[in-house]
């Protein structure tokens, strides 16, 4: 068992047993404007949507979580079954452990076996991309016969975890090289601190195909590292950064102006949150923690969770008079409170 691999197992256990969310993603401050005369048939609502030249049955995206430890295989198998059954996009967790040690590939390979038709995203950290180059990105895609690759950025976690990499120099150049030479779409993904307008400009400038904003207000790596830390100094450091980051709703408003594909992830907790994210400019709404818990339980628990999210999304679409996801993207919203104050400082 490698250090990377056992860390993956630690994370899953902590995520299921302890409170690992921090802050507020801003969805409570957003209200979709109710349409009392929707003039559409709720049972004919069309949640189908296009993303990177693929048609998905709904904008719910199964966000990157796990793989790389034998204990994670069953969770990935279930998530993949849900992706296949409901025709959802899905990201796997960081493939670093399996790239370091190919014996650990099985918990990733199972995802494509269970989801032969799904839109699957490989996953690699930007630090690993910088250090190992395009070859690792190619191996990550091949491992699961992926349709795209997500390059995740996690500077906050790198800064506060004992084994973190403190040098972020050369990442943007590595990203530019990948986008130039790679034959698959590249999605750049934060993991809980959000992306600003300026960072988004740098990412689009590097040639990325999509951004997953990975905003603040859901799963918190500062909190997870606090709970994992054996060294009290590191726990304090994590604690000090519990409120660091751009809330998901604010980040969405920072990034959306460009018209490029966007996944909103971080603190989405219902189909209504997905509807709000789409009204605010996202193409897909990603969820990790709300799907992890049922996925640790059973196929049926996970399928029930997905169906509940879809029902909420459909009712929200109906009540805004949105027959299609495109209609929903034009739905009006009210934005109040701290979220509004933060958005007003953009530009």
Q: Does 60 bind ligand FNR (CB under 6 A)?
A: no
Q: Does 292 bind ligand FNR (CB under 6 A)?
A: yes
CA dihedral sign of residues 126, 22, 313, 311:
positive
Strand segments, DSSP code E, in 140-260 are: 148-153, 186-190, 210-212
By rule CB under 6 A, what string of x and - marks binding of each residue 80-119 to ligand FNR?
-------------xx-------------------------
Pair of tokens at residue 254: 């920072």
Inter-residue contact 214 to 189 (CB < 8 Å): yes
Q: Does 5 bind ligand FNR (CB under 6 A)?
A: no
Q: Which residues contact 278 (CB under 8 A, 6 or more apart)?
A: 59, 285, 325, 328, 329, 331
Q: What is the pairing mode between strands 262-265 and 284-287?
A: parallel
Site for ligand FNR in 311-340 (CB under 6 A): none
Q: 52, 63, 79, 200: which one contacts ligand FNR (CB under 6 A)?
A: 63
CB closest to ligand FNR, residue no: 218
Distance CA 40, CA 58 (A): 18
Q: 72, 191, 199, 251: which one contacts ligand FNR (CB under 6 A)?
A: 191
Q: How near is the Cβ of 152 to ligand FNR at its closest, in Å?
A: 3
Helix axes 271-279, 248-255, angle to 10 degrees: 30
Q: Does 218 bind ligand FNR (CB under 6 A)?
A: yes
Q: Does 73 bind ligand FNR (CB under 6 A)?
A: no
Q: 11, 69, 130, 228: which one contacts ligand FNR (CB under 6 A)?
A: 11
Exposure b/e, 15-45, CB count within 10 A at least 16 = b: beeeebbbbbbbbbbbebeeeeebebeeeeb
Q: 56, 143, 272, 289: which one contacts ligand FNR (CB under 6 A)?
A: 289
Length of the chain: 347
Q: Does 189 bind ligand FNR (CB under 6 A)?
A: yes
Where do contacts with ligand FNR occur on this chain (CB under 6 A)?
A: 11-12, 15, 63-66, 93-94, 123, 150, 152, 189, 191-192, 214, 218-219, 265-268, 287-290, 292
């Amino acid at each position: 068992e490698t250090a990377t691999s056992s860390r993956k197992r630690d994370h899953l256990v902590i995520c299921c047993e302890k409170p690992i969310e921090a802050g507020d993603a801003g969805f409570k401050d957003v209200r979709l404007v109710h349409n009392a005369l929707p003039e559409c048939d709720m049972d004919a609502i069309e949640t189908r949507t296009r993303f990177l030249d693929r048609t998905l049955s709904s904008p719910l995206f199964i966000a990157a979580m796990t793989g790389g430890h034998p204990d994670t295989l069953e969770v990935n198998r279930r998530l993949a079954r849900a992706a296949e059954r409901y025709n959802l996009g899905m990201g796997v967790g960081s493939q670093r452990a399996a790239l370091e040690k190919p014996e650990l590939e099985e918990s990733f390979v199972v995802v494509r076996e269970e989801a032969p038709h799904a839109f699957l995203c490989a996953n690699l950290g930007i630090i690993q991309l910088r250090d190992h180059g395009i070859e690792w990105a190619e191996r990550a895609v091949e491992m699961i016969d992926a349709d795209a690759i997500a390059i995740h950025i996690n500077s906050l976690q790198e800064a506060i975890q004992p084994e973190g990499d403190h040098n972020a120099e050369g990442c943007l150049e590595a990203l530019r090289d990948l986008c130039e030479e790679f034959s698959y779409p590249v999605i750049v993904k934060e993991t809980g601190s959000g992306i600003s307008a300026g960072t988004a400009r740098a990412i689009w400038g590097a040639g990325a195909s999509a951004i997953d904003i990975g905003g603040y207000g859901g799963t918190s790596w500062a909190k997870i590292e606090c709970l994992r830390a054996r060294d009290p100094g590191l726990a304090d450091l994590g604690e000090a950064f519990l409120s660091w980051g751009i809330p998901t709703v604010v980040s969405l408003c920072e990034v959306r102006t460009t018209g490029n594909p966007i996944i909103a992830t971080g603190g989405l907790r219902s189909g209504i949150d997905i509807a709000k994210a789409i009204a605010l400019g996202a193409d897909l709404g990603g969820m990790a923690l709300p799907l992890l818990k049922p996925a640790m339980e059973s196929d049926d628990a996970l399928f029930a969770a997905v169906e509940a999210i879809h029902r909420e999304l459909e009712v929200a679409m109906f009540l805004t008079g949105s027959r299609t996801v495109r209609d929903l993207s034009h739905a009006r919203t009210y934005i109040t409170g701290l979220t509004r104050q933060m958005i007003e400082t953009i530009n």
